[in-house]
């Protein structure tokens, strides 16, 4: 049985709303979600936030629809980069399970694909993609195990954004041929979430094959999580082999759920199955 994930639930200060979004995700059948903290260094006073503990959101996590296990909640950081200086990994990055970048220029997109230590590269959904995707950097990212993300919530909010979302996704698919793609919600409200099978069908509009569309909300997401915990010495976090042997009391630099994945020795074959 497939395990579905949504790796982009937009963080907000309203815990009740965030709780409702996560409960909706569990009801729709998502086994894992990631709360996404978006930072745009170009804006003044934008600092890397400290992710809130998931235990502050729930006393008891909701059970995933059709399963007996509770939903897993991770933390993710996304940097909106319009200048090379905006992506400068620091110790603050260590607090997050996943790191993503949204490059606003072709030069930064190339750097993100070839050199940035990230798990996810985001593409535009609310505006026309400002540059053409080129095969060399896209293939470079694929070779490094980095994934590309497109989100669908903007397409629900606005018809113009819907056109941009579909057009930009198709433009990327023409180059990557459906490889290393994840489809996430980018949801800010519960009503913006859709079920995983609906999203797999949406992937067909993005020119994904049926198999690639399903993988974009399941196995590809699993690969993203494995990439996030297996990179050696990332931001001084240490390699997965070292983390796997750490004690329960040495979890300060990781969220509880990432530690759980590692402690349970879920790498790689039985990670979510």
pLDDT at 53: 85
pLDDT at 91: 81
Please count the helices (runs of H) and the strands (runs of E) in the chain.
10, 7
Specify if 273 maps to a domain.
no
Specify if 269 maps to a domain.
no
Specify if 268 maps to a domain.
no
Instruction: Report the C-alpha gap between 68 and 119 in whole angstroms.
Output: 29
Instruction: Report the C-alpha gap between 186 and 6 in whole angstroms.
Output: 9
Lowest average pLDDT, out of 39-43, 236-240, 257-261, goes to 236-240
Q: 83-141 pLDDT, tens per residue? A: 888 888 778 888 899 999 999 999 999 999 999 999 999 999 989 999 999 999 999 99
CB 41 within 8 Å of CB 16: no
Range of the domain at 164: 4-263
Q: 209-218 pLDDT, tens per residue? A: 999 999 999 9
Helix (H) or strand (E) holding 122: strand 120-122
Specify if 122 maps to a domain.
yes
Percent of the chain with pLDDT over 70: 83
Give the mean pLDDT of 181-204.
Answer: 95
Instruction: State the pLDDT confidence band at 231, using cuts at 50, 70 and 90.
Output: low
pLDDT at 118: 95
pLDDT at 138: 97
Specify if 216 maps to a domain.
yes
CB 92 within 8 Å of CB 75: no
pLDDT at 1: 60
Instruction: State the pLDDT confidence band at 238, using cuts at 50, 70 and 90.
Output: very low
Give the mean pLDDT of 28-39.
Answer: 96
CA torsion 121→124→130→131, rounded to 10°? 40
Per-residue pLDDT for 249 more than 50? no
As a whole number, the mean pLDDT across the chain is 84
User: What CATH number does residue 34 fall under?
Assistant: 3.20.20.140
Return the DSSP state at 116: -
Specify if 272 maps to a domain.
no
pLDDT at 95: 87
Q: Which residue has the higher pLDDT, 255 or 55?
A: 55
Q: What domain count does the chain have?
A: 1
Instruction: Report the C-alpha gap between 256 and 173 in whole angstroms.
Output: 35
Per-residue pLDDT for 144 more than 90? yes
Q: 156-177 pLDDT, tens per residue? A: 999 999 999 999 999 999 999 9
């Amino acid at each position: 049985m497939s395990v579905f994930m949504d790796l982009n639930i937009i963080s907000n200060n309203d815990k009740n709303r965030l709780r409702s979004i996560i409960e909706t995700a569990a009801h729709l059948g998502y086994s894992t979600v990631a709360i996404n903290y978006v930072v745009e260094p170009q804006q003044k006073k934008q600092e890397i936030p400290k992710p809130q503990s998931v235990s502050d959101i729930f006393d008891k996590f909701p059970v995933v629809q059709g399963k007996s296990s509770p939903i897993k909640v991770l933390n993710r950081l996304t940097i909106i980069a319009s200048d090379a200086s905006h992506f400068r990994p620091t110790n603050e990055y260590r607090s997050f399970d996943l790191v993503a970048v949204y490059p606003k220029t072709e030069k930064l997109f190339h750097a993100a694909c070839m050199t940035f230590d990230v798990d996810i590269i985001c593409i535009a959904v609310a505006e026309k993609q400002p540059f053409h995707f080129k095969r060399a950097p896209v293939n470079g990212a694929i070779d490094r195990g980095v994934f590309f993300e497109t989100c669908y919530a903007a397409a629900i909010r606005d018809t113009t954004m819907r056109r941009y979302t579909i057009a930009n996704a198709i433009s990327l698919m023409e180059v990557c041929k459906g490889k290393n793609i994840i489809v996430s919600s980018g949801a800010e409200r519960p009503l913006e979430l859709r079920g995983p099978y609906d999203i797999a069908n949406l992937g067909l509009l993005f020119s994904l094959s049926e198999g690639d569309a399903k993988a974009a909300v399941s196995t590809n997401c699993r690969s993203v999580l494995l990439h996030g915990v297996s990179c050696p010495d990332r931001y001084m976090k240490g390699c997965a082999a070292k983390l796997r042997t750490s004690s329960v009391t040495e979890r300060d630099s990781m969220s509880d759920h990432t530690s759980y994945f590692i402690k349970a020795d879920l790498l790689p074959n039985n990670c979510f199955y």
